[in-house]
Structure 1
Amino acid sequence: MIQFLAGSWALLLGMMLLMVGNGLQGTLLGVRGEMADFSTFEMSIVMSSYFVGFLGGSYLTPGLIRRVGHVRVFSALASFISAVLVLYAVWINPWGWSVLRVIIGFCFSGVYVTAESWLNNAATNETRGKALSLYMITMMLGIVIAQGLLLVADPGGFLLFIIPSVLVSISFAPILLSVQPTPAHESTKPMSLRQLYEVSPLGVVGMVLLGLVFSAQFGMAAVYGAQAKLTLAQISMFVSAFYVGATLLQYPLGWISDRMDRRLLILGVSVLGGAGALIGALFGGYFPALLISAFIVGGTSNPLYSLLIAYTNDFVEYEDMAAVSGGLVFVNGLGAIAGPVITGWAMGVVGAPGYFHFLALILFAMAGYAAWRMTVRAAPSVEDTSAYVAVSMAASPMAVEISVEEMEEHENAAES
């Protein structure tokens, strides 16, 4: 592992700086949009646009890498990110922001694919799992740090748009000066939706619902905070609480999932997440309750992503795992595109508490569907299940494919 860190510290540092830029721009737009009197519906379109670009970038970037190489793709996409972060402050218009969010979503997705393929190449079979875990922690840390930067300047000015642009520009240097180009990673074509649903109805339905939840967290949390009249410091802590919960609860829940019926765990975690969202809906006027609510929702929804991937892979052969996981990421992306729009509609109907009402409804719906599926299909024995590997919903399909490789290595080692 020390050897891996010696060769990949620059990549991890660069990715953390990129995540600081990404985390800050999402929160900042939510606050600045409220200051510019954008409607909740307009902000929901802005936030949804990121996931449109992200989904497209996930599937087009591997082809770009094969054509021109990692270094050129990374440099070009990161340059666009840096430019867009500044253009937000120049083009303060909801539809202009929507266009820029599509572009930046595409570029961030492409940068993740490129960086994760570098990561996969740098890791060995023995270090891949730890490397992936370290990468996920680095991503979460970057998002949390970004929320603190919200307090260093007036969101109504230019500085908070310039800071992430500078950080993204700086992030190029350690990566491009120290990481060697690697062969392009051949991405796996996902299964058709019909085939995927036949493999695991719970996996497909759960991933769509989880896409709705994640995009509401990542895209609309700051919009909620601004609409609920939280201070900048409170918005910063509120958004951070989602990712702190995600980081701290990911691995304990993963450990439990390898030792019990995963559907029962999916049901229980979904109920816990829904209850956490209800805390925010009922006690949103009390700020500590909001932090508890965000911690629980973030701490349950992110592990659910890895749980659903692991559960679905329990029903397929090793050679099909990558295709299944790619399909799950795709349907999760479809849900993510719709999430901010539906959340914005709910907030427009019932006010700011509609944010938590939406999250609670979706998480309880997932629990209900999991309970129903338990009456229809027998679960595989614990001995026959695949390994759980933590992977963040903020990562690209490349990270999911790496996690599948780690599952295979884990299983092969256990059998030998």
Structure 2
Amino acid sequence: MASQISSLAAILLSTAFFLMGNGLIGTLNPLRAHLEGFSDIAIGLLGACYFAGFVVGCFAGPALVTRAGHIRAFAVAGALNAVCLMMQAMWTEPVPWFALRALTGVSNAVLFMTIESWLNDRATNETRGRILSTYVIVNLSALVAGQWLLLIAAPQSFEPFSVAAILYCLCIVPIGLTRLPPPQPSPVPRLDLARIFRISPVGAAGCVTVGLSNAAFWTLAPVYAQSLGFDTSQLALFMSVFIAGGALTQWPLGRLSDGMDRRWVIAATCTLASAGGLMLGLSGLVLLNLAPILFYGVVFTLGAAMLPLYSLSIAHANDRLPRVQFVEASAGLLMINAAASIPGPLLGSFVMSAAGPASLFLYTALAYAAMAFYAFTRIRIKEPASAATRDSFTPVPQGSPASLPLDPRGPEQVE
């Protein structure tokens, strides 16, 4: 296994550079937009444009990769991201930024697709679970590292955009120099979203909730942090604590859900997320002034409850399906989540514009309370999944459909 991970070092190094850039620019964009005087709704629209571009990229990406090849497609997407960032730094107006963020979303979908296709192609039935876990660890670690790159220079300056652009350029180098043969084009899973809602309404609703609320958090939380008077180091800590909460609880919550009706864990985590959102929305500033450790404890708890819901929803949905349908169902749930991520930042920005920055977390609390209520309702009226169809929990990255065959819960691959 160690030798196989070593053979994938170039792919994982490219992943780390790419996601460090993503982590940096994901926080820098709303931060800089707010400093430039963009309205809350304009900042929400930036997030909506990015996720709309990502959805387009998920559909258009396979044709591009098939036509140009994995290395060329990856290089083009990485270069486009760098160009978009340089243009954002030079042209700080809302309308150009909307278009540039949409193009970045398309490019990121292609980057994820290329990386995950390569990992899937190199994995065997015995190693794909560990390769997926390694990928998730690199993913989360790079996102946290990206937050701390905010400290390099003032967000009003050109340098942070330059650093993110450099990282996107660097991500091209390891893959460009790799001797690994390019993977074969993966078949595009057939999507039947209506069937997914019928078979697992809780799993589908969980993915909608993640899209509506978590996308709003990534887009608008830096604006909330600025309203508290945070400098860039405090903002980096705020975002890192949130991500760490989700990273450290994915596996424990998943293992807990393996031994019971998974809907109870979904309902409990959603209730906890709603409570954390209420605390930040109603008394975040009070907690910060009273004792910063209490404030960051709530932020950690919020991340611990919000971030695992996507993986729990995937696991629950697939508890009700035969293994051969795993990739198709998971691809459908990924697209449901991505589609819900488009209106999420817009809805959050409307709430913030009407009721102030802290109301972002009241919006989050409402979304997760509704999900908790729905999960409890389904527990009462629908029996749990049969033990014969249940499989062990596996954390799932929110990337492209190309990562799904890596999941050990899917059908065995022909080698």
Mapping 1:5-84, distance limit 5 Å: 5-84=5-84
Q: Choose from 288, 301, 306 the match for 2:311.
A: 306
What TM-score results when the alignment is normalised by the length of structure 2?
0.94
Structure 2 alignment gaps of length 5 or more: none
Mapping 1:250-265, distance limit 5 Å: 250-265=250-265
Q: Choose from 407, 410, 415 the match for 2:409.
A: 407
Number of equivalenced pairs: 406
The Cα of 1:88 is off from its aligned counterpart by 1.0
Equivalent-residue separation in structure 2 for 1:387 and 1:63 (angstroms): 33
Aligned residues of 1:310 and 1:389 also touching (Cα < 8 A): yes
Mapping 1:132-281, distance limit 5 Å: 132-178=132-178, 179-191=180-192, 193-281=193-281
Secondary structure of residue in 2 paired with 1:204: helix
Aligned residues of 1:279 and 1:289 also touching (Cα < 8 A): no
Matched to 2:30, the amino acid is: G
Counterpart in the other structure of 2:390: 385
**After TM superposition, what 4+ stretches of structure 1 lie above 4 angstroms from structure 2?**
none
The Cα of 1:256 is off from its aligned counterpart by 1.1
The Cα of 1:318 is off from its aligned counterpart by 2.0
Counterpart in the other structure of 1:338: 343
Aligned residues of 1:49 and 1:98 also touching (Cα < 8 A): yes
Counterpart in the other structure of 1:328: 333
Counterpart in the other structure of 2:368: 363
Matched to 1:130, the amino acid is: R
Q: Percent identity?
A: 33
Secondary structure of residue in 1 paired with 2:381: coil
Secondary structure of residue in 2 paired with 1:190: coil
**1:398 corresponds to 2:391:** no
Deviation string, structure 1 residues 88-144 (Cα, Å, up to 9, x no partner)? 101101111111100001101110011000011112211111111111111111111
Equivalent-residue separation in structure 1 for 2:229 and 2:37 (angstroms): 13
CA RMSD of superposed structures (Å): 1.5
Aligned residues of 2:267 and 2:372 also touching (Cα < 8 A): yes
Equivalent-residue separation in structure 2 for 1:401 and 1:364 (angstroms): 32
Equivalent-residue separation in structure 2 for 1:234 and 1:254 (angstroms): 30
Deviation string, structure 1 residues 293-334 (Cα, Å, up to 9, x no partner)? 332222222211111111111112222222211111111112
Secondary structure of residue in 1 paired with 2:141: helix
Aligned residues of 1:21 and 1:164 also touching (Cα < 8 A): yes
Matched to 2:307, the amino acid is: N
Structure 1 alignment gaps of length 5 or more: 411-416
Q: Choose from 274, 286, 298 the match for 1:293.
A: 298
Equivalent-residue separation in structure 2 for 1:392 and 1:301 (angstroms): 14
Aligned residues of 1:310 and 1:388 also touching (Cα < 8 A): yes
Secondary structure of residue in 2 paired with 1:392: coil
Deviation string, structure 1 residues 12-34 (Cα, Å, up to 9, x no partner)? 11111111111111211111112
Equivalent-residue separation in structure 2 for 1:29 and 1:305 (angstroms): 24
Worse-matched range after superposition: 381-390 or 104-113 = 381-390
Worse-matched range after superposition: 234-243 or 112-121 = 234-243
